[in-house]
Every structure is written in C-alpha cells, then in structure tokens.
Amino acid sequence: MKKLLAVVMCAAVMLAPSFVNAATTADTPSHLQNFGNEPAPTIVDGVITITEAANSLNNWVAFDRSDAGSYGVSNFSFDFLLDPTDTGPSADGISISYANTANFGVDTPLDAAPFTPEDPAAAGVLGFGFDTWSNQGAWDNPDVGTGSDYSEVSVFYDGALIARIDDTRLLDTPLTLDDGQLHSVTGNVDFSGATVSLMVDGNPLFSDLNIPGLAPFESRILLAGRTGGENELAQVQNLNVEFVPEPSTGLLAVICAAASLGFIRRRFNG
C-alpha cells in the first residue's frame, strides 16, 4: 500500500483471523482504516491492534455485516489492553459500537471517521467508550482529573450521551483502564427491551441501563481508537459478538474474533 498523505484515509480489506459467522462458516471481512497519521490498525493472530503507541492516530476496524436483519438481543465480549508508553502519559481511548447499516452500509469502508473514537456519538450508533484522556468539560458533567489522569466508561446512542462513569478508579472495585493490563469485558444489548448491561473484569458498570428510543436495527460492528499529543498501545482480542433472534426462529448467529494463540504484548515508541 502506498502512502499518499498522512492525513488521507488509508484502507485495507482483509479477513479477520478466526472472525467467524457460524451461520455461514465464512470469515467476516474487515476494513482497516486510518483517518489520521499512520500506522493503520492491524489484525495478527487474532490480536487486533487498534492503535500503536504513536501520536495523532485515528484508527478504525469496520467489520462487515455478519447477519442480515434486526435482532432482539446481542451479547458481546472481548479483552482489551491500553498500555501507556514508558516515557509519557496515555491517550485517548477506544470504543466498540453497533453501527446501523442504514447509515453505514453493510460491507464497505467508512467514508470518514463518524465520531471521536473514544466518544461514539453519532446518528445510528450504539456505542461503549473507554476514555483515558480528560477533555475538560465535554458533554454534560465536569471531568474528573486532568489530561491523562482519567479513566472513563460511557454509553452513547444515536448521538447522545446516555450514561458515563467519570472515574472508574473510584468504583467499589477500582478499575484503571490504562494500566497496561488485560481486562475482560462482557455486555448485553436488549434491543427489544431498550436496555444495555456492561461488566469489566466481572464487575457490573451498567446494569439494565435504559436507552431511550432504542429498537432493533440491522448492524455491523465498529472498533475505533485515537491518540493525540500523547498515545498508547490499544489492543483487543477474543472479540465475540452474538446476535440472538426471536426464540421462534431457533437460530443463533455468531461472529467472533477469538485468538487461538496466547496474547502478545508489544510496546511501541511514539
């Protein structure tokens, strides 16, 4: 792939290792895109490196629609690592989102970055953000901490902030997002019931959180991550998303990106 300009979107279409749709036993294609500086995201042995520890990245992994039609329930799980550099603080975070195919197509690259990666606020998007940099007054509430002294998890739907934990380090079971450790995420989206739940390392962050206006929609999965003047290595592995149809159909459609090899931790100098 030839580099044209640092600010020009660079896209690659590839098959994500072990990212399988059980309904067709076919690998689900992904589009690896960067709308900032290089390097673009990569998928190697099932480990999705969203951002390396380099400045001014705006990276996206847009998976094709795995299953046509809308579903009443979806379950998801993955492990993530946000690793700051040895020489400085970390920024800015990552997100996972369900993107409505009516807005974002079923199997094409994104035309542009639809939202700030750690704050998945866009029409037709239900997203979960993991933010490691304070934006000083963004959204409705004052931030806790300044700069990289920050550890936030949020839920967005259709362009609106639904809920946010300003400082996960203050939870009963403290959670520091950018501690360089592997953390496990499990979530549930009840499209029909208009609620979501999210746990990290087995601890509930959101339980049956009401999402006003949420209804079933056909979706594709997006991963996104960003760095700025500070950076971090951001990786996801063991990504698994299940779309569960109505009980009458008796079917279960599954997409997953489970790495069969052990987790590989790497550091990059920004």
- The reply to whether 126 falls in a domain is yes
- The reply to whether 162 falls in a domain is yes
Give pLDDT, residue 260. Answer: 33
- The reply to whether 253 falls in a domain is yes
pTM of the predicted protein model: 0.81
Give pLDDT, residue 246. Answer: 66
Structure tokens that stand for 26 in this block: 């076919």
pLDDT above 50: residue 66? yes
Mean pLDDT value across residues 78-91: 84
Per the model's pLDDT, the better-predicted residue between 141 and 105 turns out to be 105
- The reply to whether 263 falls in a domain is no
pLDDT above 60: residue 252? no
Structure tokens that stand for 66 in this block: 């795995």
pLDDT in tens, 37-55: 999 999 998 899 999 999 9
Q: Measured between alpha carbons, how far is 1 from 6 in angstroms, rounded to an integer?
A: 13
Give pLDDT, residue 136. Answer: 58
Mean pLDDT value across residues 219-232: 95
Domain count, the chain: 1
Give pLDDT, residue 2. Answer: 34
- The reply to whether 152 falls in a domain is yes
Give pLDDT, residue 29. Answer: 86
Whether the CB-CB separation of 131 and 118 falls below 8 Å is answered with yes
pLDDT above 80: residue 85? no
Query: Beta partners for 8?
Result: none
Give pLDDT, residue 150. Answer: 84
- The reply to whether 246 falls in a domain is yes
Give pLDDT, residue 261. Answer: 34
Considering the chain, what is the average pLDDT of its residues?
81
Mean pLDDT value across residues 250-255: 44
pLDDT in tens, 174-194: 999 999 999 999 999 999 999
pLDDT in tens, 139-155: 444 545 566 778 899 99
Percent residues over pLDDT 90 in the chain:
65
Mean pLDDT value across residues 117-144: 80
> Which residue, among 75, 110, 269, has the nearest Cα to 188 in the 3D structure?
75
- The reply to whether 49 falls in a domain is yes
- The reply to whether 14 falls in a domain is yes
Q: Measured between alpha carbons, how far is 130 from 92 in angstroms, rounded to an integer?
A: 9
The pLDDT confidence band at residue 268, using thresholds 50, 70 and 90, is: very low
Domain holding 34: CATH number? 2.60.120.200
Domain with 152, as residue range(s), is 10-257
Give pLDDT, residue 262. Answer: 32
Question: Looking at the chain, which runs of residues are DSSP E strands?
Answer: 10-21, 26-34, 42-44, 47-51, 58-63, 73-84, 93-100, 125-131, 152-157, 160-165, 183-190, 195-200, 203-210, 219-226, 232-244, 253-257
